[in-house]
Copies of this chain bind each other. A is one copy, B any other.
């Protein structure tokens, strides 16, 4: 497998749209990998090319279950995904894992740098592991991961896992691009949620308590009961699905089969009520609108004079000198004037 490219650097050689599409549709994972690099590129020529590609493969997408998995570092996320992934490939599934890497945004070093991460799974012929970059701060992360999902689907993968770290903004984005959102937690002394952002709990369609082995088993089962009770107090989701809590151990190899059964149950349940498809349509509409917003911000930020104006306005807003409403009007008016040359 090609080594993961974390920053969207412009590649020296591009294929034609037809060559990308042909490669992807014939399940060539080297071409798939290069296509993901293409959609991640910030070069506008690459962006044009990748949109053409997405449009071309669009009829071959949608045939997977998209699963978001989150949990703070220490919860055993990689270990869980590796064991869970091996279970999936063992029952004949083709699995793609897209990991959202926040390193470039936070300059804290990559969570994905560790070469031993998901070692076994990465050598599995029916699995494809790929970090996707979050270099573009203007809402671009989500769009690029969405496009990567479509590419993986066209390449024949039938389960797509989108992995995220559970401490930042990215969970909300991921929630908006997957069918099923799974939260990993450790059973512990009540402070197991330190670091998980508020609101993530309620986005979950399922919770898995990890590391339920040895001395931890009792605590994990207690945590399961607690969370099941807590989730019961929550408003029922629009899907009508009641979120489930499971326990699992990667060492003792249990809870993996059950996790997949839960996801399949969810799909059957929500598909029969029309929600499964409806959620995807809603997600696409949301993607369309937020994509307009982020593209416009990109257009604004193409102008040096506007970058400076935005910075200055932000400072004045922070200091309470200018109201946010007046500040935003100045930016938008300046942008319109710049374009219409009525300076």
Contact = CB atoms under 8 A, between A and B. Distances in A.
Interface of A: 51, 54-55, 58, 62, 143, 146-147, 150, 190, 193-203, 226-227, 229-230, 232-238, 281, 284-285, 287-289, 291-293, 295-297, 299-300, 313-314, 317-318, 320-329, 331-332, 335-336, 339-341
Contact of A198 (B230, B232, B234, B326): B234
Contacts of A190: 232-233
A284 B322 CA distance: 10
Given A202-B201, A202-B202, A235-B193, A291 B51 contact: no
Contact of A327 (B233, B288, B297, B320): B288
A243 B250 CA distance: 35
Contacts of A202: 198-199, 201-202
Identical subunits present? 2
Given A317-B288, A320-B284, A332-B292, A51 B235 contact: no
A329 B190 CA distance: 47
A299 B233 contact: no
Determine the main DSSP class of A at the interface with B. Answer: helix
A198 B235 contact: yes
A236 to B, nearest CB: 7
A336 B299 CA distance: 9
**Which residue of A202, A313, A323 has the most chain B CB atoms within 10 A of its CB atom?**
A323
B284 A201 contact: no
Contacts of A295: 328-329, 332
A291 B179 CA distance: 30
10 contacts: A51-B323, A55-B322, A147-B325, A198-B202, A200-B235, A201-B202, A226-B233, A289-B328, A292-B300, A295-B332
A235 B331 contact: no
A322 B238 CA distance: 26
A176 to B, nearest CB: 11
Closest 10 pairs (CB-CB, A-B):
A291-B328, A288-B324, A287-B324, A339-B339, A193-B235, A295-B332, A230-B230, A196-B235, A292-B328, A54-B323
Nearest to A190: B232
Contacts of A325: 51, 54, 143, 146-147, 287, 291
**Which residue of A150, A203, A327, A328 has the most chain B CB atoms within 10 A of its CB atom?**
A328
Given A288-B313, A314-B285, A317-B285, A235 B299 contact: no
Contacts of A328: 288-289, 291-292, 295
Nearest to A198: B202
Nearest to A143: B325
B331 A292 contact: yes
Given A190-B232, A292-B332, A297-B292, A326 B201 contact: no
A172 to B, nearest CB: 10
A54 B326 CA distance: 8
A281 B320 CA distance: 8
Contacts of A340: 339-341
Nearest to A281: B318
Given A292-B297, A339-B336, A194 B235 contact: yes
Given A55-B326, A146-B325, A288-B313, 18 more contacts: A54-B323, A54-B326, A58-B320, A62-B320, A195-B235, A198-B203, A199-B203, A226-B233, A230-B230, A281-B318, A284-B317, A284-B318, A285-B318, A291-B324, A292-B328, A292-B331, A296-B296, A339-B339
